[in-house]
Amino acid sequence: MNELVMIKASKLRPHPDNPRKELGDLSELTDSIRQQGILQNLTVVPDTQMSAEGEGYLIVIGHRRYAAGVEAGIEEFPCRIAEMSHQNQVATMLCENLQRRELTVYEQAQGFQMMLDLGVSVSELSDKTGFAPSTIYHRLNIAKLDKDIVQGTQFNLSDYIELEKIDDIERRNQILANYNERTIGAAIANAYREQETKKKVKRIKEKLEEAGLKHRRASFWDSDVDWKIHTYIDMNNDIDDIDRKKLSACEFYHIDQYGNLLIYNIKEKSSDESKQDEKTKKEAELTDCAGKCLKELDAILHKTVTDVEDFKAQALKQEKKMPQKETNAFITEALFIIAVCADDLHTIESRTFDPETYGIEEPDWAFGEYAKYLISMREALNEAITQTPIGYIYEMLILILKHNKDMVRCKNAPACALRESETMLYKSNVTIFEMIIQLLESIGFTTSKDTKDLLSEKHKAFNIIEKLRKEYEEL
């Protein structure tokens, strides 16, 4: 069908596979159409997906004219209805836009990729568009990149061609996203150098392992490397540059962070070195045993806090069953402990424990005066207990336990536990822990034997550590 027909604008729609996604500024074309009307027809094909209400058409040529005409108020457009395959539709739109140089580089790339997906070969595409096969291949590489990143940058075609040196598409996208037109050249060069070094390292590793060498970490200053039988080369050389006699005499290889390759043997150890190795091994065994003991003690402290949390849940349910006098005594002593430990509770507002809150003057820190201050604080707290929820009291006690749990044991490193000169527990933190446990015991809490043994340093773990210390000293 070659004759022109007038088709209503409502029955036309842009072709969804049009390579050109951005139509640009239509204002001048819109003004021209308002004054002169549509001077050139559109080329359309039947729209197979149009609603059953009537015929519809896809625009193959004339997308800008259609958009500007709609903006100008045109209700009908002169059209030539063509019969062509989907492949020819895409090819026609691609060539039309390429001839007018109206496609961005990325739109060209997408158009070429679309044609290949439809079964057109690069050779055929070259014949249809007039682009050299090499240019088409370059555009196809651009089509592999992230659309949003490409459209948000302003790089030259030469930059995209240079970027093809990088094998990993995601790495290409990262370079495009993180560098500008002034720095992208250096970024590509660095990425390419890194990529090629990794490839060379992989090839050399494969050849070394084929030759029977095993990987073992080593450095230039390691005392066990036999410098009489070794070779040290950089990655600018290849495996063929290595002395074959040394290669056959070596057992191990290592490639350092700078890409340098060390091929070496381990030198035979003297009797003194062997003894030192045995000592080091024994120290490691003792340290490992001490570490297990410390973990056991930590587990007991953790379990103690968990038991207190469980007891709190039960105690709150039974609050009314406790005589008022006992309740008051419990709260008074608890608030006293909280006040003493206020400096450790960084998560609690300091104002809660400010002496002025209870009408007490700041203490005179001279000897003997602080004890009087504590008595005054305890009396003031006794008056305030009726206004303090008991649940809050439990929470404060648990916070203090958790804080002290991590500070009861002095040494976190197992090796430190083997030094007899250093104590195992901080007495001040043990005292706080014991004060809370004893207070809770007064209202029914049951302290486990492990906890009691730990706080008194009678737990079996202490005996084991003491034996380990003696063995450690004898090394």
Q: How confident is the model at residue 94 (pLDDT cuts 50, 70, 90)?
A: confident
Tell me, rounded to whole angstroms, the distance of Cα 246 from its chain centroid. Answer: 43
Q: How confident is the model at residue 44 (pLDDT cuts 50, 70, 90)?
A: confident
The pLDDT, as a whole number, for residue 54 is 61
The pLDDT, as a whole number, for residue 334 is 84
Lowest mean pLDDT among 120-124, 343-347, 357-361: 343-347
pLDDT at 449 over 90: yes
Tell me, rounded to whole angstroms, the distance of Cα 422 from its chain centroid. Answer: 40
Cα(67)–Cα(13) distance, integer angstroms: 10
Integer CA distances (angstroms), 298 to 4, 29, 291, 333, in order: 90, 80, 10, 27
Question: Which residue in 436, 466, 468, 467 sits closest to 451, CA to CA?
Answer: 436
The pLDDT, as a whole number, for residue 188 is 92
Cα(30)–Cα(50) distance, integer angstroms: 27
The residue-averaged pLDDT of 92-120 equals 71
pLDDT at 169 over 70: yes
Task: State pLDDT tens for residues 179-189.
Answer: 888 888 889 99
Q: Which residues of 132-145 are buried (b: 16+ CB within 10 A; e: fewer)?
A: eeebbebbbbbbeb
What percent of the chain is modeled with pLDDT above 90? 4
Cα(235)–Cα(255) distance, integer angstroms: 9
The pLDDT, as a whole number, for residue 354 is 55
The pLDDT, as a whole number, for residue 22 is 72
Task: State pLDDT tens for residues 230-268.
Answer: 666 655 665 565 666 666 777 777 877 666 777 777 766
pLDDT at 335 over 60: yes
The pLDDT, as a whole number, for residue 468 is 84
Who wins on pLDDT, 108 or 415?
Answer: 108
Cα(320)–Cα(316) distance, integer angstroms: 9
In the chain, CATH 3.90.1530.10 sits at 4-161
103: phi then psi, degrees, rounded to nearest 5: -100, 140
Task: State pLDDT tens for residues 270-289.
Answer: 666 667 667 778 888 888 88
The pLDDT, as a whole number, for residue 347 is 42
Cα(453)–Cα(462) distance, integer angstroms: 10
The pLDDT, as a whole number, for residue 447 is 92
Work out the burial of residue 271: count CB atoms within 10 Å of its CB; fewer than 13 is exposed, 13-18 middle, 19 or more buried: exposed
pLDDT at 421 over 50: no
Amino acid at 343: D
The residue-averaged pLDDT of 67-92 equals 83
Tokens representing 339 are 């006040």
pTM passes above 0.75: no
Lowest mean pLDDT among 209-218, 368-377, 446-455: 368-377
The pLDDT, as a whole number, for residue 38 is 81
Task: State pLDDT tens for residues 359-404.
Answer: 666 666 555 676 777 777 777 666 655 555 676 677 778 878 877 7
Cα(445)–Cα(308) distance, integer angstroms: 8
Cα(170)–Cα(145) distance, integer angstroms: 8
Strand (E) or helix (H) holding 80: strand 76-81
pLDDT at 67 over 80: yes
pLDDT at 226 over 60: yes
The pLDDT, as a whole number, for residue 168 is 92
CATH code of the domain occupying 4-161: 3.90.1530.10
Who wins on pLDDT, 219 or 70?
Answer: 70
The pLDDT, as a whole number, for residue 350 is 39
How crowded is residue 17: how many other Cβ atoms within 10 Å of its Cβ?
A: 16
The answer to whether 4 touches 82, Cβ cutoff 8 Å, is no
The residue-averaged pLDDT of 200-229 equals 75
The pLDDT, as a whole number, for residue 442 is 87
The pLDDT, as a whole number, for residue 120 is 75
How crowded is residue 16: how many other Cβ atoms within 10 Å of its Cβ?
A: 8
Q: Which residues of 208-236 are buried (b: 16+ CB within 10 A; e: fewer)?
A: beeeebeeeebeeeeeebeeebbbebebe
The pLDDT, as a whole number, for residue 154 is 76
Looking at every residue in the chain, the average pLDDT score rounds to 76
Cα(256)–Cα(217) distance, integer angstroms: 8
Tokens representing 101 are 């140089």
The residue-averaged pLDDT of 213-234 equals 68
Amino acid at 88: N
The pairing of beta strand 42-46 with beta strand 57-61: antiparallel
Q: Where are the beta strands (DSSP E) in 106-260?
A: 214-215, 225-233, 252-255
Please list, in sequence order, all residues whose beta carbon lies within 8 angstroms of the beta carbon of residue 8, skipping any fewer than 6 positions away.
75, 76
